[in-house]
Amino acid sequence: MFAYNLHHVAIAVHDLDAALESHRLQYGIEASHREVVSSQGVEEAMLSIGGSSVQLLTPLSADSPVGRFLEKRGEGLHHIAYAVSDLEASLAHLAATGVRLIDTEPRIGGGGHRIAFVHPSSFGGTLIELVEVVR
Ligand code: CO
């Protein structure tokens, strides 16, 4: 069992400020972290809730993965992220079970975490992110 926690659920939005304000007013949840992740073409905010987080994502340009997602599918669930303790071992396990990986090597994501994405065709049309977190 290498995925041991739900790290975050990510929702793509057009307007990050408006989405943060909605979450604050509607659910009383404030962003605990906000960051531009240039390598992924997004600005993201993390909202801690329980032992996990909601991540709100907005594209830096229309010509980026999240920009294209919004164009094609509109706002909504973008990916779910599982916490893992050994990213290389997790990727090797997935590859060995025939799972299609977007990232065969870890890369650096928001918060400086080592992350990798698993192709949505591998499970229920849902993009899955693995985030390496020291337990
Ligand atoms: Co994410």
- The residue extents of the domains of the chain are 3-132
Q: Is 93 a catalytic residue?
A: no
CATH architecture assignment, domain 3-132: Roll (3.10)
pTM of the model: 0.93
Q: Is 55 a catalytic residue?
A: yes
Backbone φ, ψ for residue 41 (5° rounding): 70, 30
Expressed in angstroms and rounded, the spacing between residue 10 Cα and the centre of ligand 1 is 6
Q: Is 21 a catalytic residue?
A: no
pLDDT at position 125 is 93
Is 13's pLDDT higher than 90?
A: yes
Check whether 15 has a pLDDT greater than 80: yes
Helix (H, G, I), strand (E, B) or coil at 77: strand
Candidate list 8, 23, 78, 113, residue with the active-site label: 8
Residue-wise pLDDT for 75-127, tens only, equals: 999 999 999 999 999 999 999 999 999 999 999 988 889 999 999 999 899 99
The pLDDT tens digits of the residues spanning 42-57 come to 999 999 999 899 999 9
- Identify the active-site residue in 44, 78, 113, 132: 44
Supply the pLDDT for residue 21: 97
Distance from Cα 135 to the centre of ligand 1, integer Å: 18
